[in-house]
Structure formats: C-alpha cells, structure tokens
C-alpha cells in the first residue's frame, strides 16, 4: 500500500474511533530507517505530560476578559473582550520567601564564576527590600515585619514581597537555568522557560474556568455562608484582621479555585509580563494577547493584596506599578507554556 493510501486509511480509522481529536499516526523510530523517511532518531527524551514541581496545568480555552462587575472608578480601561488562551503551567501558589531564598543563594553561588551579576548587585537589586514595610505606609510601626518577614523561618511559607519586576524576571531566568541544567544532566530535553504570566493568562487562570466570574470562587460575595472570608484582603475600614491575618497569610491558606490555584485574589498582588496601557484591550490580538512596550516603565499588577478592599481583588480589576518599585504588597508567580496542543481529553 502506498504512503498516501496508508495515511488515508489511518485517518478514516481515527475518525471512526474518536469523536474529538486523535493521536499521532506514527510511533517511534526503527533501529534502521531502511531507506524510509522516519525523521532523525538521535533526539532527547521528551514527555509532554511532565509537570514541574509546584505547578498545576491550566487547560487552554476561551473566556471574556475584562471587568466582571461595576467599574466603580469608571476608568474604562478593561472593557470586555473574548479571547483564547493556549494551555500552560502555573505555580499553584505565589513564590514564597524560602523559595526566593534558594534563588538568592543560587545567584550568589553563580556570582563566583559569572560576570553577569556581582555579589554586591545581587544584594542591592535582587534581594528583597525589607524596608518597604516602613516606607509604604505613613506613621506605621513596620519594624517587626521589616526585621523578620524575609529572614525568620516563621515566614518561610509566606509570599515574598519587596521585589521589583526586574528581580522577578531574573528569578524566572535563574529557575529556568536551574531546572534545565538538571534535565540536561539526565539526558532529557529542555523544558520551555519559566516566565511571568501575561495579563490575559493571569486573568484566565484567576477565573478558574468560570467565565465572567467576579472572584476566583465565583461570587458575588467575599464571605461564605458561615461568614468566613474567602481571601486575604481588607474586609472593612481599618479591619485588616477580620480575614484571619493582619498582613499577608501563608500561601494556600484559603481554598483554591477551579484550576487548583491559590490566592489569585488577595494576599499579595502579582507582577505580570505586560506593560500598562489604559487603551491596551482594543488593540491586542484575541489569541494569546499581550501588550509589550519596553519603553513603558509601568507594568501590570493583578489580584489585589492584603491591604486592598474587595473591588481590587476582583478578577477583572486592572492595576500597575513602576517596574523598578518594590512594595510590601506585590509578589509574583511563574508560568511555563505547555508545548503541544491539548486534545481536550487531558483534563
């Protein structure tokens, strides 16, 4: 049978046996190609189902990006737009103090053999700025948080703060080197790079499969039937402790959303990859949209934080910060593209 007829027969068989999608037509290579076109055989091992530690799989899909409730500031910067997002992996939680400490120690070790970052630059530009607990708020006794939040093991599982967007980007680069260095040693194919999520990826993830959801748990309320807060935010005027924590909470202290992601609303706001543009929504594409502008110092921050009222922890509320500015209420998490197209049967 000719190759064309064989492919045709296999295609018909695939249609008859599967209603949605199908598998590849050809299996692994032979020891000898016997004169046939079978592709190069000396390739690293690749498992498309591999899931990096601490991450969860976010399936691709389509959703309505934008404000899910009344725009109380009437900013008109997040009008609804239907977009499609490809599948990717995302950290289940925000990067913690102890995870970030591993990065700092790794960078310090690299500084002995690399000229990219000196030890002094690492301390000045990458190490968390603990003084943000004093500088961010007027007439606030922030010394205990300044002295202990990053350094004491009691806060190891709390989200790292006081990092600029540049530091978050460098964390992603180091994490990629660290992860793929191990895979290369094991003879495995390299994984795609870790990076910050685009604004669209972040919002799609935050909704957890609930299109137009006001909050990651759906909504419209910020408390459950027992009156318990569903996230770490500012429930009322001056009442920071009503959700259980005066400042940040340990990661995963509240229930996850439909994608298994924790703290997509509240705890700490999160750096995104996009530059800020109040008119960005209408001009970006509707497939994996992102707005890039290296000359724009304002970068997107999403999710709201422990100090914010409910409006700012909504899934559709936009905010920004200058990329060189570190804050006591901004952290981050990483994503990684999921190579290949999901059949829709993987989840």
Per-residue pLDDT tens for 284-304? 888 999 999 999 999 999 999
Give residue 23's pLDDT: 52
CATH of the domain at 166: 3.90.1580.10
Residues 317-341 pLDDT 10s: 999 999 999 999 999 999 999 987 6
Share of the chain above pLDDT 90, in %: 68
Domain membership flag for residue 346 = no
288 falls within a domain: yes
Query: How far is Cα 129 from Cα 150, in angstroms, rounded to an integer?
Result: 9
pLDDT of residue 118: 92
**Residue 238 lies in domain:** 56-337
> Do the domain assignments include residue 71?
yes
Work out whether the CA dihedral 294, 128, 233, 143 comes out positive or negative: negative
The pLDDT value recorded for residue 121 is 94
Report the DSSP beta bridge partners of residue 215. 218
Bond into 48 cis (ω within 30)? no
| Within a domain: 150 | yes
Q: Is residue 32 part of a domain?
A: no
Judge contact between 332 and 202, C-beta under 8 A.
Answer: no
| 54-84 residue pLDDT tens | 999 999 999 998 877 776 666 666 678 899 9
In a domain, 8, yes or no: no
Q: Is residue 292 part of a domain?
A: yes
- The total number of structural domains in the chain stands at 1
Q: Does the pLDDT value for residue 343 go beyond 80? A: no
Per-residue pLDDT band at 4 (split at 50, 70, 90): very low
Does residue 325 belong to any structural domain of this protein? yes
Across the range 243-250, mean pLDDT stands at: 95
Residue 126 in this model has a pLDDT that exceeds 90: yes
State how far the alpha carbon of 28 is from the alpha carbons of 7, 40, 215, in Å.
Answer: 16, 11, 45
């Amino acid at each position: 049978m000719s190759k064309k007829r064989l492919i045709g027969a296999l295609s018909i068989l695939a249609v008859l046996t599967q209603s949605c999608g199908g598998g590849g037509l050809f299996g692994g290579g032979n020891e000898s190609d016997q004169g046939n076109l079978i592709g190069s055989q000396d390739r690293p091992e690749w498992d498309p189902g591999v899931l990096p530690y601490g991450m969860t799989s976010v399936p691709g899909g389509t959703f309505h990006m934008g404000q899910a409730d009344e725009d109380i500031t009437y900013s008109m910067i997040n009008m609804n737009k239907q977009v499609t997002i490809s599948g990717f992996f995302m950290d289940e939680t925000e990067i913690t103090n102890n995870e970030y400490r591993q990065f700092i120690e790794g960078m310090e070790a690299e500084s002995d053999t690399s000229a990219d970052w000196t030890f002094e630059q690492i301390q000045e530009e990458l190490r968390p700025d603990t003084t943000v607990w004093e500088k961010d708020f007027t007439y606030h006794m922030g010394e205990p948080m300044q002295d202990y939040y990053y350094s004491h093991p009691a806060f190891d599982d709390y989200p790292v703060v006081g990092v600029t967007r540049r530091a978050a980007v460098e964390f992603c680069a180091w994490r990629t080197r660290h992860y793929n260095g191990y895979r290369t040693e094991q003879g495995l194919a390299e994984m795609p790079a870790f990076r910050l999520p685009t604004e669209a990826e972040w919002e799609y993830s935050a909704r957890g499969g609930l299109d137009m959801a006001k909050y990651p748990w759906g909504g419209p309320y910020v408390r459950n039937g027992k009156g318990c807060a569903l996230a770490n935010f500012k429930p009322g005027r001056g009442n920071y402790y009503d959700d259980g924590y005066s400042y940040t909470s340990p990661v995963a202290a509240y229930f996850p959303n439909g994608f298994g992601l924790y703290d997509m609303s509240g705890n700490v706001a999160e750096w995104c990859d996009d530059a800020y543009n109040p008119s960005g929504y209408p001009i970006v594409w509707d497939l994996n949209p992102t707005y890039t502008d290296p000359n724009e110092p304002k970068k997107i921050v999403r999710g709201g934080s422990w100090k914010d009222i409910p409006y700012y922890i909504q899934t559709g509320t936009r905010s920004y910060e200058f990329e060189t500015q570190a804050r006591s209420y901004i952290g981050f998490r990483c994503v990684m593209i999921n190579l290949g197209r999901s059949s829709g049967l993987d989840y």
